[in-house]
Amino acid sequence: MRWVIWILLLSLLSVALKNSEQGLSGDAPLYASISENMIESGDYFSLDAAVPDFKPNYNEHPHLSFWLQALIFKVFGAHDWSARILGHIYYICFLLLFFFSLRALVSEAAAVIGVFILWIQPHFSATFSSFLLDPGALFWGCLFLALLSNSLRKNSNTYSILAGLSLGLCALTKGLTFLGFGLPAVFILVLHLTSPQKVTRATTKKELFWQSSKHSILALGSFALIFFLYSFALSKSSSPDFLEYYWLRQVSNRFSNLWTIKSVFLKEFWFPMLKDSLGFLLLIPFAFLTKRSKLKSIGIPLILFLSFVLSYAPAHRFGGQYLIMFLPSIAWLSAIALERIFKRYDLLISFSQSASLLAFIVLQYTGIPIHGSAPSTPLKVLAESIQQEAKNENSVYLDSSPEHEHFISASRLVWYSKARVVYASDTPEAPSKHRRHYLYSPSNSTLELDRIAQIKNSGWCTYYQDQSTAIFKACSDLRF
């Protein structure tokens, strides 16, 4: 209970600070909109992103996170703060898993140091303090490794089954990302089979082999069960071809076009990792020089790290949310390297929980933004107008400049305006008489005078304009 309270106190500052403020960045508005649209439509298999980039629907990732988020929205409503709840839960659960795993394999001191390292890394906590899919994949994948290791050590069928279910939930969270946990799982199995300490008078090498095979089959069987149930549910749903679209997207558009092993050696891959790990990446070699450098305690995080290097770097998955797959391994190995220095780790506990509580109280009432990019004033104006006039089947036109016709920008409009987005380049005709339309241009620099005149001559009237944004509205008063 002591450690749970400690991690909860750390979480006050790292993820719970100013949770009521507006602000979602990156893919979070897109994912939140998909989950909200699930509730609105009542269809929990059709991933409707309400932006034109994904046709017929969103098929980049499986459904689990969207289902869980939809459940949260069902209870608390769809808001920025409620969109972060799932990430906060994953953050607390992962730190507890990380702490107890590191304590079991190394020491309590190393576990405290490892959690502290993750806690002081802003990028790690910021990724959890949003609605992204990577935190869930990291938690379920690492839980799989922990359960698999325990199933072999305790010869427990229950742990084996739970391990497979965890890997299945990892796959349902972020698809093929689960493959990154395959190499460390193989390492755990091989280490179990080759460890001389496992062979006793009561357990021969042959018996150990069949024991390991049994647990592997149970884990793979429960994983296959998750996949079968998911596939069966999809086949009976409104999106029976989801997996086909998903596979085509992953293989054709990602692996075949971008995959190159040369990316492993690019500075664009390593420099963001060095920066966001606060330099702890450089401590990895020193973990091998300590007395704690046992094969299992060093090997599992190292192989997990290398596995995701081989998974992400060739596919050009650089920086951003992808980094959280590497940061726990870096923190684990750094904790082993630093364990001898921080012998009084109890002082580290007292300092971190006091600092977290004090900073939470002080920063909670400051104007410092914490959570992502808040909606701009023009976007708030647009959202208020749409919500006041008509909530159903509105369309928001984006200006046809290519940099703004992208799902990242468009999904922010969807999430904050609660309207569907279509692109001006796709529909150059005048405003429809059947809907109330808006033309949203996030940058006036893309609108030359003749372009503005052309827009107005096509039936648009200026609705809002400032130095950075122009919003045009259909001049007609026709409504639905």
Tell me: do 221 and 301 sit in the same domain. Answer: yes
Non-local (6+) Cβ contacts of 359 within 8 A are 13, 17
Of 14, 15, 48, 16, nearest to 31 (Cα)?
48
Non-local (6+) Cβ contacts of 280 within 8 A are 117, 330, 331, 334
Output the pLDDT for position 120: 93
Tell me: do 51 and 194 sit in the same domain. Answer: yes
Output the pLDDT for position 380: 77
Output the pLDDT for position 432: 46
Output the pLDDT for position 455: 60
Non-local (6+) Cβ contacts of 167 within 8 A are 140, 141, 144, 178, 181, 219, 223
For residues 134 and 325, the answer to whether their CB atoms sit within 8 Å is: yes
**For the chain, how many structural domains are there in total?**
2
Question: Angle at which helices 182-194 and 205-235 pack, to 10 degrees?
Answer: 160
Tell me: do 175 and 284 sit in the same domain. Answer: yes
Bigger pLDDT: 423 vs 325: 325
Helix (H) or strand (E) holding 219: helix 205-235
Tell me: do 96 and 209 sit in the same domain. Answer: yes
Output the pLDDT for position 464: 67
Q: Which domain holds residue 429?
A: 377-474
Q: Name the domain boundary from 337, 362, 387.
A: 362
Q: How far is CA 274 from the centre of its chain?
A: 20
Tell me: do 288 and 419 sit in the same domain. Answer: no
Amino acid identity, position 384: E
For residues 233 and 62, the answer to whether their CB atoms sit within 8 Å is: no
The residue-averaged pLDDT of 140-164 equals 95
Band of residue 477 on the pLDDT scale cut at 50, 70, 90:
very low
Residue 100 structure tokens: 């107890």
Band of residue 81 on the pLDDT scale cut at 50, 70, 90:
very high
Output the pLDDT for position 13: 85
Bigger pLDDT: 332 vs 14: 332
Residue 345 structure tokens: 């780790």
Of 3, 9, 280, nearest to 121 (Cα)?
280
Band of residue 433 on the pLDDT scale cut at 50, 70, 90:
very low
Band of residue 454 on the pLDDT scale cut at 50, 70, 90:
low
**Is 369 inside a domain boundary?**
no
**Is 54 inside a domain boundary?**
yes
Beta strands of 82-190 (E only): which ranges? none
Non-local (6+) Cβ contacts of 390 within 8 A are 436, 479, 480
For residue range 176-230, list pLDDT tens digits in order. Answer: 999 999 999 999 999 888 875 554 544 677 778 888 899 999 999 999 999 999 9
Tell me: do 393 and 354 sit in the same domain. Answer: no
For residue range 31-58, list pLDDT tens digits in order. Answer: 999 999 999 899 999 999 888 888 778 9
For residue range 378-430, list pLDDT tens digits in order. Answer: 777 777 777 666 554 555 665 444 445 677 878 888 888 887 777 766 654 44
For residue range 281-302, list pLDDT tens digits in order. Answer: 999 999 888 765 577 889 999 9
Tell me: do 249 and 358 sit in the same domain. Answer: yes
Amino acid identity, position 78: A
Tell me: do 288 and 148 sit in the same domain. Answer: yes
For residues 328 and 98, the answer to whether their CB atoms sit within 8 Å is: yes
For residue range 179-194, list pLDDT tens digits in order. Answer: 999 999 999 999 888 8
Band of residue 470 on the pLDDT scale cut at 50, 70, 90:
low
Q: Is the pLDDT of residue 83 over 80?
A: yes
Highest mean pLDDT, choosing among 265-279, 397-411, 449-463: 265-279
Residue 350 CA to residue 338 CA, distance in Å, equals: 18
First-last CA distance in the chain: 58
